[in-house]
């Protein structure tokens, strides 16, 4: 993996610097199994923060994000599109 800067100044905290584009590029280079593992980890880590799903849904309804929403729906859930 490239594109992530990791600084370890002490035993904690550990700082990782990456843009959304860096993360997207790394994600795109992963195998399908690794991509599914990342998505599963994201869902698992967000379980305690259920309200965040609402915020994401609301943000995806915004006109500037509608293309992303439609693409995700079409690609992830083709029968629902």
Return the HEC string of the chain: CCCCEEEECCCCCEEEECCHHHHHHHHHHCCHHHHHHHHHHHHHHHHHHCHHHHHHHHHHHCHHHHHHHHHHHHHHCHHHC
**For every one of its 81 residues, what pLDDT tens digit does the chain have, with 9 covering 90 and above?**
445 677 777 777 777 788 889 889 999 999 999 999 999 999 999 999 999 999 999 999 999 999 999 999 999 899 865
Q: What is the pTM assigned to this prediction?
A: 0.68
Residue 7 bridge partners (DSSP): 15
């Amino acid at each position: 993996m490239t594109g992530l800067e990791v600084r370890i100044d002490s035993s904690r905290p550990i700082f990782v610097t990456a843009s959304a584009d860096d993360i997207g590029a790394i994600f795109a280079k992963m195998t399908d199994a690794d991509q599914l593992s990342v998505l599963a980890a994201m869902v698992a880590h967000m379980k305690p923060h259920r309200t965040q799903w609402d915020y994401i849904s609301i943000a995806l309804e915004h006109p500037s994000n509608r293309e992303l929403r439609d693409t995700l729906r079409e690609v992830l859930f083709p029968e629902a599109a």
